[in-house]
Structure 1
């Protein structure tokens, strides 16, 4: 596995799931450091796509708003259209579209199925509580013609329950809805455990779940808004390789 990826695995359906690292560079067109431009991000995206066997410029992104909205991947991609619109999850109905979201502490959740479709979701505290994961699973289920397929989810690197400090009143309120959220930081203050809650939500929905046990705040090879606001965003991506992965990386 390349250093550009913090995690990657392939599925029996020929799909791949991956989460980028700081080594791959910032993947956001809007969260930029003072010396960065959108063209720098475009280069980072093309480099990563070539590395993964994705035709450069063809990955689909959304304009994330911490919502529970799910959209279908359209024919346009980031090189011709900035995003697929405002949403926090994307579904590829035939599983052939490379789809991605951006995070830097929130949860990147990648979905594959044994019947074809794929999805990827951005689940921060607000989106998770509003149902973005349940909505994504529901959209995938509507595409299961035989109604007997399996959905698999990989919860990627995110801030962990030892690091996501929140006011005590918030923790107590939201933990009523999702008890798995209740946590405490390593320094003894109230916290939320988003990965644990996401796993509980998905398992309750009948999804087969695995988690990448990497905390973005603790691991400096990952972007973290809490540790370093504005530094950049990593991407969670689901794809089928379309080209050789022996391409030469661009560096300018």
Structure 2
């Protein structure tokens, strides 16, 4: 899965960062529906970031089918503090870290194809600075670690049409503001089928890859972590160091 990171307002923020990132998300979702791709059978993924004294994040995912199909994009946006800087001597690169990024990824995972999902923090920032510019619909709560985060679906920019935001030409039979076209669900079923197919392909590729599989590497790391936090004869877990943990799943989780 390809990933792209877009940063707006970092390191210098401005008053239009939140509005810019939300308009960009609208443009991405709308424009994706007008991009016809051949049979590549690969998901497309990117990450959006913005900053409003802290930082706005969004993750964008889409997919294309083996048949000719348009790209359906889903977006997750969050706001919060980050740690950023240039890392590595051999290949210097600007990296961004923090819980805000993790929440943005979880928000995107919870979002639906063709939808723009934002956290309550983003909605609050918009209400403070852009007031009635954007219209949201309350959605489900997102559990991320110990946090329970309310989310909202972005419905529209009340002051701008999709045609203005995406710099597109309105067709004769299309809606005046373009939001009917933005929210249409055509292709969502195909999007979900492709996502499942790609996950299966990864499992097959991983099975034929030389060396330990991802699952085995993950289990090995779990075993290593557990061994550091228990004694030779653990009383709390009921698992001794002499037990065969390779074939007992419950003894390593």
TM range (shorter): under 0.3
More strand by share: 2
Larger Rg: 2
- Normalised TM-score (structure 1): 0.26
More helix by share: 2
- Normalised TM-score (structure 2): 0.26
Higher relative contact order (CA 8 A, sep 6+): 1
